[in-house]
Structure 1
């Protein structure tokens, strides 16, 4: 356990550019959106709907990039220090889960502040956009947290696969994804299942649709990464 803790600290060496940088970038994007929509309102233009922006997604993209850099930059250095692959991956997973929960909590606090100020005084929906907007606080935390886990483990698997199989592996993964997804689309269209699938999705509770099913994807990506990293060379 002490070994895992040491590897976690190793992965946190560059935290100002990963953890802190994500929020600095998000804050900058938020201020730009706030100034933009405030200037539109100040110009006297009639606004019939609440200003909405999906810019909060930027922090999830940063999480994805962070997962990539962990295994392309930190992982080889850890192996040079005789860190076991399994230890590194377990440490990454624990750190990812903790970071995802922390980010989910912080985003929820921002969402509560947005609601309390009636959209920052101008009716802007920055944090509570579309399906991300939940009335239940606990569900709100889940909705914000789960995508971080999905993006993190997906990035880890892709970067590990690249280190093991290089570009040929990426090409095979891309072709496989296109064939599988394209085949499913053809099958669903042929059998005329789109209406039934749409009805099934609409009937899903929010907790399952935004918190349950995505976690299955995260678990699959985590398992694939764990199995792949065992034979990766620096």
Structure 2
């Protein structure tokens, strides 16, 4: 999450937990990439959406409820989830070889990187949760708009919504983590293979549901789980991606 030209903590060569902490700190040396840039872009996206809500609100005769129903399906906030995916890939691409050259082991590097991503996801989920509270308290920023309290994040209250957002952020970050590890190990071929496998898994799953005419059963299954039961299922691919990322990284060399 930092650039290779930034300063490196002096204790990278220390043992065990000290190396993990050094790698963790290394990823936050440049806060612009981790915080300020995505925060600024999110602010711009919000301003553009607010302007659209204002135009629609003043140019139509629809009631506030109709306006609210329309904006509740907004995907404007998805930028930050994709950013976390890219951030994970970028972090490993820019810091892995340098960290190894400074004495960090692959295991310590991976654990430090995972810890940094966990903290980044938690921090952004809290920001998301606070903005969602403000959105609720102001009636959709005064215009019945939705960006941080969209229908995708459930209706189980602000704390549950923050938890769901955190889990979704972990999912995207874990995809970036394994993609970054594959890039470090096999470069372009690793990313291409990862994309092909994901594509076949997705298409295969949809084909299986379609061929068995199981759409109703799948829908009923997730409806029965609700948001509280469905979102934690994301931890399964998160753990799988984490293990795959470590397996790919353990054989990567400083000259991969």
**Pairwise same-fold verdict (TM > 0.5):** yes
TM-fit CA distance, 1:135 = 3.3
Checking the alignment, whether the CA contact within 8 Å between 2:88 and 2:173 is kept in structure 1 is yes
Aligned twin of 1:229: 249
Aligned twin of 1:8: 24
1:36-185 aligned within 5 A: 36-43=52-59, 45-47=60-62, 48-50=66-68, 51-52=70-71, 53-185=74-206
> What secondary structure, in the 3-state scheme, does the structure 2 residue paired with 1:86 have?
helix
In structure 1, what is the Cα distance between the partners aligned to 2:123 and 2:28? 15
- Describe the superposition over 1:25-46 as per-residue Cα deviations: whole angstroms up to 9, x where unpaired: 1111111111221133233x22
Checking the alignment, whether the CA contact within 8 Å between 2:67 and 2:145 is kept in structure 1 is no
Aligned twin of 1:218: 238
User: Aligned pair in 2 of structure 1 residues 229, 142: CA closer, same or farther (>3 Å)?
Assistant: same
User: Aligned pair in 2 of structure 1 residues 38, 180: CA closer, same or farther (>3 Å)?
Assistant: closer
Unaligned residue ranges in structure 2 (runs of 5+): 1-16
Checking the alignment, whether the CA contact within 8 Å between 2:34 and 2:120 is kept in structure 1 is no
In structure 2, what is the Cα distance between the partners aligned to 1:128 and 1:149? 18
Checking the alignment, whether the CA contact within 8 Å between 2:174 and 2:241 is kept in structure 1 is yes
In structure 1, what is the Cα distance between the partners aligned to 2:199 and 2:40? 36
Does residue 1:22 correspond to 2:38, yes or no? yes
User: Aligned pair in 2 of structure 1 residues 184, 61: CA closer, same or farther (>3 Å)?
Assistant: closer
TM-fit CA distance, 1:181 = 3.5
In structure 1, what is the Cα distance between the partners aligned to 2:197 and 2:167? 25
User: What is the TM-score when the length of structure 2 is the normalising length?
Assistant: 0.84
Runs of 4+ in 1 over 6 A off after TM superposition: none
